[in-house]
Amino acid sequence: MLKLSPLLFLLVLSLASLQGCGAPGVEATSSHAGNAGKGDTPDDSERLLPVPDVQGTYHLRVDSVMTVQQEETLETHHLEIHALTRFEQTGAWVTLTLIPCDLLLPEISGQQPHLSPDTVRAMSPLSAEGSLIPETTGVRLDLEPLAMQLGVALADPFADAVPLDKTDAAVIDEDDDAHPGVSVEIAGFKVYLGLRAILDLSGVILPEGSIVGDAALVSDIEIYGDNIPFVNVAKKLERAGEVTEILDQVDTFSMIRLPGEPTSCTTMHSESRALVENIAPPSNDRSSDESAFEGEDTPDPE
């Protein structure tokens, strides 16, 4: 089993040249802060802030930036996850519902990998419980981890292993292309894989209602095949760790509160662009995913 973090970075590194450039796995740890020292009653100068009302709909954006060195080459790569999220709230307790919208993979060595937005948006919604924790300097959001799956349907998405064998009953044809798992396309070729990603979020509530903080991604990936002539992608990933060093990794998230209560990814992107200009996709060429942001050619699945 390949332990990869953040999601799909190392697979993309290995496939970019189709010559075995990759990176070793780095397992992220939870960024949740402890609550030690909060049991004492504060004096007047250390009053805890009140619990805010966070119930509503948000645009969640997770940014993962990794700096890697491959022999003498230093590169920085950027991955994004976008999701439509909604909080239901009872006092300090919250329930988050997350609808995946887009997974934008990093362009590496001039190659742009592609995972269909239709496939991502057809995923089942995720849910997590959490709490709002007042502190003297702000209010902290603490959520249970979320488990995302593509190409597999694990009975326990947190504890079960991603199957090694493509004939395992837990391996599914996610995108209905007659191949096991989910297909990732790069340079005109496809790799068929199963993945499970654990997403851990911990942040603070800003005065205007947005939420920002740290994210942690831990992913398990198994390769079930490919259509690349004379190349075994699974073996390349196993050898890739010998030539690449991960120098730095920063995972963050933001949640922009949306006044219009959108129910689809297309309207989410439209409303969030109107509020914050930098919600638009990065300047690098991602034409294959552009319609996911423009809301014209990639409608949300029914």
Q: What percent of the chain clears pLDDT 90, i.e. is strictly above it?
A: 43
What count of residues does the chain have? 302
Q: What is the mean pLDDT of residues 247-264?
A: 90
What was the pLDDT predicted at 259?
87
213: part of which helix (H) or strand (E)?
strand 211-226
Residue 48: band (very low, low, confident or very high) from pLDDT cuts 50, 70, 90: confident
Quote the strand ranges of 71-188, DSSP E: 73-90, 93-104, 126-134, 139-143, 146-150, 182-186
Residue 277 pLDDT more than 90? no
Distance CA 129, CA 106 (A): 31
pLDDT at 244 over 60: yes
Averaged pLDDT score across all residues of the chain: 78
| Lowest pLDDT segment from 70-74, 115-119, 237-241, 251-255 | 237-241
Q: What is the pLDDT at residue 119?
A: 93
pLDDT digits (tens, 9 = 90+) for 7-22: 455 565 555 544 333 3
Tokens 């603070």 belong to residue: 204
Measured between alpha carbons, how far is 211 from 204 in angstroms, rounded to an integer? 6
Indicate the pTM of the whole model: 0.77
Side-chain half-sphere of 228: how many Cα atoms within 13 Å?
27
In this predicted structure, the answer to whether residue 29 has a pLDDT above a threshold of 70 is: no
The confidence score (pLDDT) of residue 247 equals 85
The span from the CA of 60 to the CA of 101, in Å, is: 10
Average pLDDT of span 283-302: 40
Q: What are the backbone dihedrals phi and psi of residue 170, each rounded to the nearest 5 degrees, phi first?
A: -80, -10
d(CA 296, CA 197): 29
Tell me which residue of 34, 19, 120 sits closest to 70, measured CA to CA: 19
Residue 147 pLDDT: 95
- Best CA proximity match to 286, nearest among 276, 300, 271, 298: 298
pLDDT value at position 163? 95
Say how far apart CA 114 and CA 120 lie, in whole Å: 11
Residue 278 has pLDDT above 80, yes or no: no
Query: Do the strands 244-258 and 182-186 form a parallel or antiparallel pair, or are they unpaired?
Result: unpaired
Condensed to tens digits (0 to 9), the pLDDT of residues 137-173 reads 889 999 999 999 999 999 999 999 999 999 999 999 9
SS3 105: coil
How much is the pLDDT for 81?
A: 93
pLDDT at site 241:
64
Q: How much is the pLDDT for 210?
A: 93
11: nearest Cα among 159, 212, 228, 271: 228
d(CA 255, CA 249): 21
The stretch 245-253 carries a mean pLDDT of 87
253 close to 210: Cβ distance less than 8 angstroms = no
199-212 pLDDT, tens digit per residue, is 999 999 998 899 99
pLDDT above 60: residue 26: no
- Amino acid identity for residue 148 in this structure: M
